[in-house]
Amino acid sequence: MEEERLKQIFGNFNPDMSPDYVFINRLKNNLETVEMIRNKNVRLKARCRRAVIVASLVGIGVGLLLAMILPTIAAAIMDYTRSVFNDTFFNVIHENSILLAGIGIAAVSMVVSLSVYELTMSWHKIDR
């Protein structure tokens, strides 16, 4: 008996709700916004990928170029330290000039890579 009453109560439960067209229009607007953000994210990802590729290529190129002149750079460091200084610290630099030149080349390549990445990202503006 009480079970029937519950079924009747819920069967008659028909509360006022916003009109269908209002609800669906609001949903359509929300979905359009979602689509817009999704498309922007896709474009942003493509842009980032492009920037990473360009930055990597430029970084590797600069690194290779500098590596080719590594002996010249190392010799220049040796000559300079030999001619100017004569204490222990600069003797260490003198003896490790190739290693130091290598570290310098790596640092320069990295800085160039990062700069190119930033530049590439700023060149391709996001479509509005």
Binding flags for another protein, 31-60, as an x/- string (CB under 8 A): x--xx-------------------------
Residues from 94 through 113 that contact another protein (CB under 8 A): none
- Return the DSSP state at 69: T
| CA nearest neighbour of 62 among 120, 115, 8, 19 | 115
User: Which H or E run contains 81?
Assistant: helix 70-84
Q: Which of 23, 65, 111, 118 binds another protein (CB under 8 A)?
A: 23
Binding window for another protein (CB under 8 A); candidates: 15-23, 52-60, 84-92, 104-112: 15-23
Backbone angles phi, psi at 87, to 5 degrees: -115, 180
Question: Quick check: 85 and 101 in contact, CB under 8 A?
Answer: no
Binding footprint of another protein on the chain (CB under 8 A)? 2-3, 5-7, 9-11, 13-18, 20, 23-24, 26-28, 30-31, 34-35
